[in-house]
């Protein structure tokens, strides 16, 4: 079969899959720039049309006309818990166990301290040495406030995360899906083994929330944090979330004791008394416009359902991997992600010695992924707006960039300020 015939057959097969796709109608509910195949939703999801409408409503009517009265009339004050209850089923949590607030970094700082408060007799945090850097930076920040604590890292202090967990460990911080490789951990099994050692399980869901069934409640997880601007399409800098199992609400403590987390914030009492439930993870006044935009993204994911989203995610990543290996492996591309679908999130990571320049050449041709050091080409597959034909066209464009050595152009090799 000739090269052109191979890609024509691949495209025809993708068109058949798209015709049978139960999620096909969701694509038209996003704003997608013409001529763009967007494979970077694992960094920033595109704008739902309903989010743009919500922003306009919140800015022009609720803020501009309603002014301060909108804290009551538009329900602004209750948005953190109302959105938390919308998000909860998407991560396997119950009502009252999730609050939408602040950033992932701030929430992680709160959650690490909260986990430590549940094990006051233990003095060690365990984390992944290859974790997204903010997780490690925040853990270092926690240690700076607690000189009695220690930090053990997978890949530094031992090859396997769970082998580092013993009777001295208070909290284990672990990502469900690795941000570079896309490797997925078994949340239920890992949580059970953490609990068997008497420690608290704290999960980072940034690369799994909204794209797969997480199952925090069924697994008995203690705490979790995550962002909402990736697969939940909340917009740049949209507020993150914190999960705390209801069984811990009476004992848990976190150090950012701002007035929104007070039991009676409008009493303006001098001394702090934490709210009785998940609101104790709140701190200060919330970003209302961002929250109103996020609501639309949460509603879309809830409407679609996580089972069909995950099924399509697997199909898209499988298709891309097969095409990349068939068409691009002879041109210097390696596979960095797990090949087994059940061990993978919704991204595929490839490698190439000139990965940065290759990605810039792809972006210039309308295929938007991203690059991670040192040589990783990272592609995210979001089923609500991506088609199977997009996958084929993206893989074909990658092959053309490599075969034509387009990446050798100086304009693609010059590093941007944000990569």
What does the pLDDT average to over 193-203? 98
The share of the chain scoring above pLDDT 90, in percent, equals 98
Check residue 28 and give its pLDDT.
98
Check residue 418 and give its pLDDT.
79
Dist CA 398 CA 346 (whole Å): 19
In this prediction the pTM is 0.97
Dist CA 92 CA 79 (whole Å): 20
What does the pLDDT average to over 387-391? 98
Q: Please write the tens of the pLDDT for every residue from 314-330.
A: 999 999 999 999 999 99
pLDDT-derived band of residue 179, with 50, 70 and 90 as boundaries?
very high
What does the pLDDT average to over 329-349? 96
What does the pLDDT average to over 210-228? 98
- What are the two backbone dihedrals, phi and then psi, of residue 153, each rounded to the nearest 5 degrees? -120, 130
Check residue 312 and give its pLDDT.
98
- Cβ atoms of 128 and 172 closer than 8 Å: no
* Residue 38 Cα to chain centre, angstroms: 16
Match 């914030």 to its residue by tokens: 265
**Helix ranges, 184-266 (H):** 187-196, 216-219
Q: Please write the tens of the pLDDT for every residue from 268-299.
A: 999 999 999 999 999 999 999 999 999 999 99
Tokens of 147: 């000189």
pLDDT-derived band of residue 2, with 50, 70 and 90 as boundaries?
confident
Q: If you average pLDDT over every residue of the chain, what do you get?
A: 97
- In whole angstroms, how far apart are CA 10 and each of 95, 216, 324? 44, 38, 12
What does the pLDDT average to over 393-412? 96
What does the pLDDT average to over 236-256? 97
| Residue 419 in this model has a pLDDT that exceeds 80 | no
**Helix ranges, 231-351 (H):** 288-304, 306-328
- What are the two backbone dihedrals, phi and then psi, of residue 90, each rounded to the nearest 5 degrees? -75, -15
Tokens of 238: 């949209």
Largest CA distance in the chain: 78
Check residue 146 and give its pLDDT.
94
User: How would you class 203 by CB atoms within 10 Å of its CB: exposed for 0-12, middle for 13-18, buried for 19 or more?
Assistant: buried
| Residue 1 in this model has a pLDDT that exceeds 80 | no
| Residue 415 in this model has a pLDDT that exceeds 90 | no
Check residue 213 and give its pLDDT.
96
pLDDT-derived band of residue 222, with 50, 70 and 90 as boundaries?
very high
| Those residues with Cβ within 8 angstroms of residue 33's Cβ, 6 or more apart along the chain or in another chain | none
What does the pLDDT average to over 110-132? 98
Q: Please write the tens of the pLDDT for every residue from 65-79.
A: 999 999 999 999 999
Active site residues: 132, 204, 229-230, 378
| HSE, side-chain direction, 13 A CA sphere, residue 132 | 21
Check residue 417 and give its pLDDT.
82
By C-alpha distance, which of 117, 188, 176 is closest to 149?
117
């Amino acid at each position: 079969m000739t090269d052109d015939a191979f890609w024509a057959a691949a495209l025809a097969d993708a068109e058949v899959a798209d015709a049978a796709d139960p999620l096909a109608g969701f694509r038209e509910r996003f704003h997608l720039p013409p001529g763009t195949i967007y494979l970077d939703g694992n960094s920033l999801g595109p704008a739902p049309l309903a989010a743009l409408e919500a922003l306009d409503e919140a800015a022009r009517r609720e803020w501009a006309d309603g002014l301060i009265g909108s804290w009551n009339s538009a329900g602004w004050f209750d948005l953190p818990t109302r959105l938390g209850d919308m998000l909860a089923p998407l991560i396997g949590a119950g009502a009252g166990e999730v609050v939408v607030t602040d950033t992932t970094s701030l929430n992680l700082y709160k959650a690490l301290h909260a986990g430590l408060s549940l094990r006051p007799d233990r003095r060690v945090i365990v984390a992944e040495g290859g974790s997204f850097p903010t997780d490690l930076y925040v853990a270092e920040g926690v240690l700076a406030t607690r000189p009695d604590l220690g930090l053990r890292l997978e890949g530094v202090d031992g090859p396997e995360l769970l082998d580092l967990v013993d009777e001295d460990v208070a909290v284990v911080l672990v990502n469900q899906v690795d941000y570079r490789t896309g490797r997925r951990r078994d949340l239920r099994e890992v949580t059970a083994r953490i609990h068997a050692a008497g420690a608290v399980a704290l999960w980072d869901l940034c690369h799994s929330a909204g794209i797969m069934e997480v199952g925090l409640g069924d697994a008995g997880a203690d705490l979790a944090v995550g962002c909402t601007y990736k697969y939940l399409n909340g917009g740049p800098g949209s507020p993150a979330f914190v999960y705390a199992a209801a069984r811990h609400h009476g004992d848990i403590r976190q150090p950012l004791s701002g007035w929104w987390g007070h039991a009676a914030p409008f009493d303006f009492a001098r001394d702090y008394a934490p709210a009785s439930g998940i609101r104790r993870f709140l701190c200060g006044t919330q970003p209302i416009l961002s929250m109103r935009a996020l609501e639309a993204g949460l509603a879309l994911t809830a409407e679609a359902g996580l089972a069909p989203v995950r099924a399509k995610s697997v199909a898209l990543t499988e298709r891309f991997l097969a095409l990349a290996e068939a068409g691009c492996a002879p041109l210097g591309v390696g596979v960095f992600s797990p090949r087994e679908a059940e061990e993978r999130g919704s991204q595929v990571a490839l490698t190439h010695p000139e990965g940065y320049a290759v990605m810039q050449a792809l972006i210039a041709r309308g295929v938007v992924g991203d690059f991670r050091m040192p040589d990783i080409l990272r592609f995210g597959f979001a089923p609500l707006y991506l088609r199977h034909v997009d996958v084929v066209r993206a893989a074909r464009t990658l092959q053309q960039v490599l075969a034509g050595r387009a990446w050798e152009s100086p304009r693609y090799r010059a590093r941007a300020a944000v990569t």
